[in-house]
A = this chain, B = another copy of it.
């Protein structure tokens, strides 16, 4: 099932649907080609499984769309998009890992096909594998500065000041009482916002965007990711939920104004989802 599920369905939405389906297919093919099941199969079989069974994130397709918006080809961003998916899938698996004090994701209902030790170790292999893909990519040869920048961007987004902080604060929040708007906003920003911000920035970097374009697509990605955080359940008991999401949607659209005249409808359709 695709991540793209528009609220209404006009011919424009149909076009966007085809666009995102093509982007997803490209990322999936790249990942399938990279993660062949080879020895040690005890390691590559679970990696294959966890890569493709994790929830789909909008961050990898956003990376490719950002690259195209600044004039790059999807091929320039497909390795980064694949690496971002690997990081997302690794974090997703660890968040549902059965620890002796319960999983990080309170109320997790994910079905565990593999043993806990495999679900611990496999993501530990997926994260460096993502960095290896970037290091071995064609752009690493021709454009090593861009790839190094992408490596730094991804490191930050998935590390202690990004997803890791978001997952930890979500747990703290879930175990506490009441609904604090500020806390919900923080978790949305850290857990999904920064990965999407990174995806937007990386796409723009790899597509050869200007510094201004990179920063605009970073902020656009941030709001898209924060909305996704809410769509995926953060702050679901918050009364002002829809209001906040609408505020973020407005801020996101504002970041795209500078791209007036270009093919903005594709990337902006990420804001029109359920």
Chain A residues within 8 Å of B, Cβ to Cβ: 40, 42-44, 47, 90-91, 94, 97-101, 104, 115-118, 120-129, 131-132, 134-136, 140, 144-145, 147-149, 151-152, 154-156, 158-161, 163-165, 167-169, 171-172
Contact = CB atoms under 8 A, between A and B. Distances in A.
A111 to B, nearest CB: 15
B159 A148 contact: no
Contact of A156 (B124, B128, B155): B128
14 contacts: A40-B165, A42-B168, A42-B169, A42-B172, A101-B115, A117-B171, A118-B168, A122-B160, A124-B127, A124-B164, A125-B159, A132-B155, A135-B155, A140-B148
Contacts of A158: 124, 128
Contacts of A43: 160-161, 164-165, 168
Nearest to A186: B40
A104 B127 contact: no
A239 to B, nearest CB: 27
Nearest to A42: B168
Contacts of A40: 160-161, 165, 168-169
A44 B134 CA distance: 27
Given A99-B97, A99-B120, A125 B171 contact: no
Nearest to A157: B128
A106 B172 CA distance: 30
Nearest to A159: B128
A124 B89 CA distance: 13
Give the 9 A-B CB pairs with smallest separation, nearest first: A125-B160, A132-B155, A128-B159, A135-B152, A128-B155, A99-B116, A125-B164, A144-B144, A43-B160
A91 B123 CA distance: 12
Nearest to A125: B160
A204 to B, nearest CB: 18
Contact of A131 (B115, B155, B161, B171): B155
